[in-house]
Amino acid sequence: MTDPAALPVRPGEDPWTEAELAAVRGELEAEIARLRGEIASAETELAERLSDSVDGAGDDPADTGAKTYQREHDLALAYNTRELLAQSERAIERMAAGTYGVCESCGQAIGKARLQAFPRATQCVKCKQREERR
């Protein structure tokens, strides 16, 4: 693992300590475990819905539409959960590589306070605001 003090910080911020980085890493690892559990549960539920071939037999079109909508909604939630999982795993990979805290857009420090509040952040506030305006 990288020396926490070597990770970038914004001007005026104290360098990362081992305890601070361990706390952020612990939060990310707990989030990863929770998200993996959610994904497994969602996949099981979705597989059960898709494997029940008689589900909906005799339904009127409105019921069929509602079930289709629910299935699509569940798929969208599962996709979002997978994306959050990937972001959390990438954050831990960046910690190990020593690139945690470097903005992927401008290369400047993201800021320790921002990362402590949102550990999956990959951009500094300025770059993120610019991206959201587009």
Counting Cβ atoms within 10 Å, is residue 87 exposed (0-12), middle (13-18) or buried (19+)? Answer: middle
Largest Cα separation within the chain, whole Å, is 67
Rounded CA separation 99/3 (Å) = 11
Convert the pLDDT of each residue in 91-129 to its tens digit: 999 999 999 999 999 999 999 999 999 999 999 999 999
Convert the pLDDT of each residue in 65-93 to its tens digit: 777 787 788 888 889 999 999 999 999 99
Across the chain, what does the average pLDDT equal?
88
> Average pLDDT of 51-68?
67
Other C-beta atoms within 10 Å of 38: how many? 16
Nearest to 25 by CA among 7, 13, 38, 46: 7
Both tokens assigned to 95: 């910690």
pLDDT in the model for residue 56: 57
Percentage of the chain lying above the pLDDT 70 cut:
92
Sign of CA dihedral 117, 38, 96, 122: negative
Q: What is the pTM of this model?
A: 0.81
pLDDT in the model for residue 4: 87
Ranges of H-type helices in the chain: 18-51, 61-97, 112-117, 125-133
pLDDT in the model for residue 59: 67
